[in-house]
Homo-oligomer: A and B are copies of this chain.
Amino acid sequence: MKFSIQRDRLIQSVQDVMKAISSRTTIPILTGIKIVATNEGVAFTGSDSDVSIESFIPKEEDGNELVEIFAPGAIVLQAKFFSEIVKKLPMDFVEIEVINHLQTVIRSGKSEFNLNGLDPEEYPHLPQISEENVFKIPTDIVKNLIRQTVFAVSTSETRPILTGVNWKVESDRLTCIATDSHRLAMRSAAIDFVNEAKYNIVIPGKSLNELNKILDDTNEPVEIVITENQILFRAKHLLFFSRLLEGNYPDTSRLIPTESKTDIVINTKEFLQAIDRASLLAREGRNPNVVKFSTLTSGIIEISSNTPEVGKVVEQVQSQSIEGEDLKISFSAKYMMDALKALEGLEIRISFTGAMRPFIIRPINDESILQLILPVRTY
């Protein structure tokens, strides 16, 4: 194997596939990046066996030569060292050559590294995924779907299925749901699907976080293929595979109240900042981070908290409207801030059905997104 490659593209590809590589793996070959040079270009692969990422650099793009192949071939190089080295190389192009079985030379200007490679034959194969049942979503929508739901997954392994995000595909619509049983985030989007297949899968939250970091902010489509136990995201020059979580995701539809007793419309940013300040003194013993919320007259909302040894805080926010019953309720400031940051739009509507029932937060005039929070008993 011998090729010359543009350094900045090499750095980007290595950085992308590094996101799949774990320093804690027990499989030695997976500490490496697999490099495969063909006459079409060079493919880089990283994997922790749950997530596998392949980034491809073509020989040429938009008339620029990115790679010159002198001899096709393959090698696996230790990811930690290889990624540090490529970042610091002096010239715009880098030559990589396997000289003697697995001995690999990396040259750039007057800099020459000689690394002990690993046998590429030992590297596990990526899943083979059939090309049927492909559906497409613009990249920016995929990123929003992830961002607006994944924060609500459970971080506890007591119910492993809740560490993933439930993706349901039905009638040309994708609905994403995450819950840690104290709050729930839901977002749906139209998809471009040629087929009538239905899916109900659970994708690890960790995989979606990594995918979100790698995807560019474009409106180019991402192709998505779902199989029995894998999902594949295919973007330009990028393959992202994730294992699916096994088990049935709970039916969350009955958790969501369909009627409300108090409806509040409020400016998102003002409300978020008031909650953020109130959370500074929300450190009371049994319920850390819980703030009290109550409706006053003239559309004013009061948010307060108290840490006896330190002090207390009272915030008032003028809402657009309060409809229905007066209300006193307590909830986690963190959950509320997470939900508000995930929502789009200048104003939100919060619909309560009493102080002890879950309440929902939505943007005004947008049914595709919903955040639900369970209150805390303090009043």
- Chain A interface (Cβ < 8 Å from any Cβ of B): 78, 81, 84-85, 88-90, 104, 110-116, 273-274, 276-277, 280-281, 309-318
Contacts and interface: CB of A to CB of B under 8 A. Distances in A.
13 contacts: A78-B310, A84-B280, A88-B277, A90-B273, A90-B277, A110-B315, A111-B274, A111-B313, A111-B314, A111-B315, A113-B281, A114-B311, A116-B309
A211 B125 CA distance: 56
A359 B223 CA distance: 60
B113 A311 contact: yes
Contacts of A312: 113-114
B273 A110 contact: no
Contacts of A89: 277
A317 B110 contact: yes
A298 to B, nearest CB: 13
A81 B310 contact: yes
Contacts of A81: 280-281, 310-311
Given A81-B281, A88-B280, A280-B85, A115 B311 contact: yes
Contacts of A104: 311
Given A88-B276, A113-B280, 20 more contacts: A78-B310, A81-B281, A84-B280, A85-B280, A88-B273, A88-B277, A90-B277, A110-B274, A110-B316, A111-B277, A111-B313, A112-B313, A112-B314, A112-B315, A113-B277, A113-B313, A114-B312, A114-B313, A115-B310, A116-B311
Top-7 shortest CB links A-B: A115-B311, A110-B316, A113-B313, A114-B311, A114-B312, A88-B277, A112-B314
A313 B114 CA distance: 6
A289 to B, nearest CB: 14
A314 B81 CA distance: 15
A77 to B, nearest CB: 9
A309 to B, nearest CB: 7
Contacts of A277: 85, 88-90, 111, 113
Contacts of A84: 280
A312 B111 CA distance: 11
A77 B115 CA distance: 57
Nearest to A312: B114
A290 B310 CA distance: 51
A14 to B, nearest CB: 14
A115 B305 CA distance: 12
A104 B312 CA distance: 10
Contacts of A274: 110-111
A84 B280 CA distance: 7
Q: Which of A84, A276, A310, A318 has the most CB of B within 10 A?
A: A310
Contacts of A318: 110
Contacts of A116: 309-311
A280 B277 CA distance: 45
Nearest to A116: B311
Nearest to A103: B311
A309 B78 CA distance: 11
Nearest to A270: B90
A111 B280 CA distance: 12
A115 B314 CA distance: 12
Contacts of A90: 273, 277
Q: Which of A78, A89, A281 has the most CB of B within 10 A?
A: A281
